[in-house]
Structure 1
């Protein structure tokens, strides 16, 4: 759910015929010849192998679009999440930008002037249909450049069977988490609370906990406040009341990746952890009865969930503004948005598709995640500095909760990286 929904749903490289990454025009296109244009689209793979690769979705979408839009062809290249952002960056650097990219980050391209703003590509009805919280996260200097593609939110997952065996109820506060974890530990649960602060996706786990303590990466004005008093207190609590009491399992949080924690949950080895929709389905397939509640906060349930989004963008290089816009207007029709969300248990990013999902009983398992999305807090995607800050979090945050760690110093170090990155712009 970029890193978001990867972070989240990392796929392997699709086994597909490699499509050329350089511009291919079936006619003169922008030069004014036959009017035929070939759009290059590079997209991330949300699948876990060839059998559920995103390639099929994009090939089907391209074929349907071409049928309705004679004269425009769409060449699709799907790459794994571990490669796609780097490959697009290399293409742009080499002067071979795609026309459309569906990847994890947009801000650097927007700042460099490489992208069309949404207002120059999309029909008004398309642009206005994005959920406001996601649309806001896609803006640079007030203009929308990163078009939300799919989204996810996070809730606290707990194993109902383990909770019943320990005679405990779902937690609502930090104190509840600690006492529930102690009860689970007494019952021999391997990971009473799995706390993945390893390098895979600790920037997500970090934000969830910051929000639960009334903090966050930035303030309302968008300024980094990583080492705020609220954030420091949150990590002091994690250090003393979870890690320090031996309630986070046999692997130190700084060494525990999300994928490992999720796998342990599906095996019945985890009492509680923060999860997303895909984990719900995976766990239930393994016979785990899953309970879900908003992440507990210091005094009660956290009011805003963490949200994750990935992005679509249109590059200026080949001059195909109108054709890109036509394709994007088509891609964001409800049936197409919902088809992708359905395929990967993700959330739609438009108001109309969200309303349709909410009204459909077959999507009931996703309704709690869907209701959390409008008020969700996303990473500061619009900051070109975010990539550096995210890497610093992945590298350092695990040490904040070590027995001899110092949360104030660790958060201060990350805040210094943020300041330096901001000043370098």
Structure 2
């Protein structure tokens, strides 16, 4: 073969390779059978079984579309999701926490505008705000959760404990529980506990819902009374032994086990843990309460809610239409009801039929005066980490004013 013919052959070969790569990345024929596969990633390992069931149903109803679900640990998802989905190869449908993670995804331009999609009407309009920015709907929150302590109704009834309506009553309740041999609160201080309990601990200490926006703008500081008081109350709970031993070394699964074994009367996380508790102890009757850190007549809020597990379509995906069909499927009331009742989660979808005991027992919280989770209104991930670290610091024995000052040093680096 002469040089001219060899060069021609190389050119033809390269053209064929590039053409094949182009066809593969276009999403027109992902699989050998001509079907398309969408990647669905999230952090809810406890939901795998029900998602497997729903995915099987979706694939039967939508021939030619397959769903590949990957579940990551919550902490790993928080730190790596942006990198995972950036090139569009993973996470055609991805989930986001509200707050700083959503802001990071938005600034990186990773989400597709869903504003005009028909399935948006399947959701309660008043619960979609967390996924909105600049007048557009970039993600749809799926879960409505209450980020406040879960309590064992049986123990409370046995000891004649009423739900406290002030800080003094909350402390007295904890003392009664301790005196009767219970750890008042199983606190997962090694992972999610500080970032969860902080919301109800501060909700009435700083009633302005823009407080963290003001912090990031330099209009308030963590060394001001509202945060120092919150840290002081955390320290009081720790110093009086109202958390279990080694609370800073306890992860959420361990705290759930303490609750399920009835060694602890409360769990310092949120409603999303109730299904896991019931799985380990089906006979336990559960409720929700929030610490009121002020006198009863000064309380503005009764608890905390969050619209989370926000589903978005990857802007770099080659299968956007298929991804949207999957979100539409999950937002249909029949399928949303299956998810809600098998996971014990209230949802943002309208017309969901709640049948599970857990959901019926907590449905009254949908009508209470609750506040959107303050932590998720912190846009800077670095500031959020500093805030949470200050809680862990005081539980470990640091003076509240000292811990607040250390955290403020971090905030000062990001205030414009």
1:149 equivalent in structure 2 = 142
1:58 equivalent in structure 2 = 55
Q: Report the CA distance shift for 1:132/1:201 in structure 2 as closer, same or farther (over 3 A).
A: farther
2:68 equivalent in structure 1 = 76
Q: 1:25 aligns with which of 21, 24, 27?
A: 27
What TM-score does the superposition give when structure 1 sets the normalisation length? Answer: 0.74
Q: Helix, strand or coil for the counterpart of 1:329? A: helix
1:244 equivalent in structure 2 = 239
Q: Please give the residue correspondences for 1:239-388 in structure 2 after superposition, counting only pairs within 5 Å.
A: 239-240=235-236, 242-251=237-246, 253-284=247-278, 285=281, 287-300=283-296, 302-307=301-306, 309-318=308-317, 320-353=319-352, 356-357=353-354, 363-371=359-367, 375-379=370-374, 381=376, 385=380, 387-388=381-382
My pick for the range that moved more, 328-337 or 38-47, is 38-47
- Paired residue total: 378
Contact 1:138 1:381 in 2 (8 A): no
Root-mean-square deviation (CA), in Å?
3.6
Counterpart-to-counterpart distance in 1, 2:125 and 2:213: 17
Counterpart-to-counterpart distance in 2, 1:382 and 1:170: 28
Shift of 1:331: 2.9
Counterpart-to-counterpart distance in 2, 1:245 and 1:87: 38
Shift of 1:263: 1.5
1:248-299, Cα deviation, whole Å (9 max, x unpaired) = 3322x43343332222111111133445345444545354343433443412
1:99-137, Cα deviation, whole Å (9 max, x unpaired) = 3213444332221222212225x12xx335534554221
My pick for the range that moved more, 170-179 or 218-227, is 218-227
Q: Provide runs of 4+ in structure 1 moved above 6 Å.
A: none
1:4 equivalent in structure 2 = none
Shift of 1:163: 3.5
1:410 equivalent in structure 2 = 403
Counterpart-to-counterpart distance in 2, 1:129 and 1:48: 25
Counterpart-to-counterpart distance in 2, 1:200 and 1:220: 19
Q: Which has the higher helix share?
A: 2
Q: Please give the residue correspondences for 1:151-300 in structure 2 after superposition, counting only pairs within 5 Å.
A: 151-189=144-182, 191-215=183-207, 218-219=210-211, 224=216, 227=222, 228-240=224-236, 242-251=237-246, 253-284=247-278, 285=281, 287-300=283-296
Q: Helix, strand or coil for the counterpart of 1:114? A: coil
Q: Report the CA distance shift for 1:421/1:279 in structure 2 as closer, same or farther (over 3 A).
A: same
Contact 2:193 2:268 in 1 (8 A): no
Q: Report the CA distance shift for 1:92/1:80 in structure 2 as closer, same or farther (over 3 A).
A: closer
Q: Helix, strand or coil for the counterpart of 1:368? A: helix
2:138 counterpart of 1:139:
no
Counterpart-to-counterpart distance in 1, 2:42 and 2:286: 29
Counterpart-to-counterpart distance in 2, 1:281 and 1:97: 29
Counterpart-to-counterpart distance in 1, 2:393 and 2:339: 38
Shift of 1:53: 6.1
2:31 counterpart of 1:38:
no
Contact 2:147 2:199 in 1 (8 A): no
Structure 2 gap ranges (5+): 1-23
Counterpart-to-counterpart distance in 2, 1:185 and 1:327: 48
1:36-77, Cα deviation, whole Å (9 max, x unpaired) = 883523232634497x2633322322332x14xxxx624322
Contact 1:152 1:369 in 2 (8 A): no
Q: Report the CA distance shift for 1:91/1:177 in structure 2 as closer, same or farther (over 3 A).
A: closer
Counterpart-to-counterpart distance in 2, 1:182 and 1:329: 49
Counterpart-to-counterpart distance in 2, 1:330 and 1:280: 26
Contact 2:38 2:319 in 1 (8 A): no
Contact 2:231 2:400 in 1 (8 A): yes
Contact 1:99 1:324 in 2 (8 A): yes
Contact 1:277 1:369 in 2 (8 A): no
Q: Helix, strand or coil for the counterpart of 1:118? A: coil
Shift of 1:313: 0.8
Counterpart-to-counterpart distance in 2, 1:419 and 1:58: 46
Shift of 1:178: 0.9
Shift of 1:346: 0.9
2:107 equivalent in structure 1 = 111
What TM-score does the superposition give when structure 2 sets the normalisation length? Answer: 0.76
Q: Report the CA distance shift for 1:26/1:265 in structure 2 as closer, same or farther (over 3 A).
A: same
Contact 1:102 1:149 in 2 (8 A): no
Contact 1:152 1:277 in 2 (8 A): yes
Shift of 1:309: 1.1
Q: Helix, strand or coil for the counterpart of 2:315? A: coil
Shift of 1:176: 1.0
Q: Helix, strand or coil for the counterpart of 2:345? A: coil
